[in-house]
Structure 1
């Protein structure tokens, strides 16, 4: 009986330290009005976002990653995404995107809910490529 209790305690402790998400590369998006406005790609290792980038950042037919006028305006979106790099992905980090003005490098003009949606969608779908 003691062995069973020790084994159960060990398994319970190990489960407490297990990652929530599988290590790998994730992709998610936000679509509005049949236009993909945000598509993100990020890498998770032990639930920590180690890399992140926008694959698409568009609004009203303007490419905020390529058109010079809009690239100058996208610093807030870059700041919101970079805020998550190096952090464990959890509800508190995701909830911070509801108020991106509190993220020093983001600002009030960022629609953090769009980015949050894209990240959550990626997490729900699972990795597109598992870590080696």
Structure 2
């Protein structure tokens, strides 16, 4: 069965960062930012494609990776749908060392669920990358 990854960037207080922010530019363009995941995925998940995904993902093998990129307010509904159908296998969070006073909060979208921290990385610009995986069923 295919795996589904979500990659996002959030501020310390859980908001989507402003797209014009310097740190967001790094995330969108640096080889350790979103391009790292783009190069490893098999297909992107587009908004309004969750029903297609539900039908297709079981037909793919473990090496097939779907990627959803959540960085704009318009993509939040995609995240909500992926969590609603319990489709997310891996959550990659780029945590920016800033706090936002307003904007789109995504913390209230995350389901009540235990995630396992798989890997971390920190970068010289203060950004931390946290990779969480859904616990395996025993």
- TM-score normalised by L of structure 1: 0.23
Larger radius of gyration: 1
1 or 2 for the larger relative contact order (CA 8 Å, sep ≥6)?
A: 2
Question: Normalized per residue, which structure has more helix?
Answer: 1
- TM-score normalised by L of structure 2: 0.22
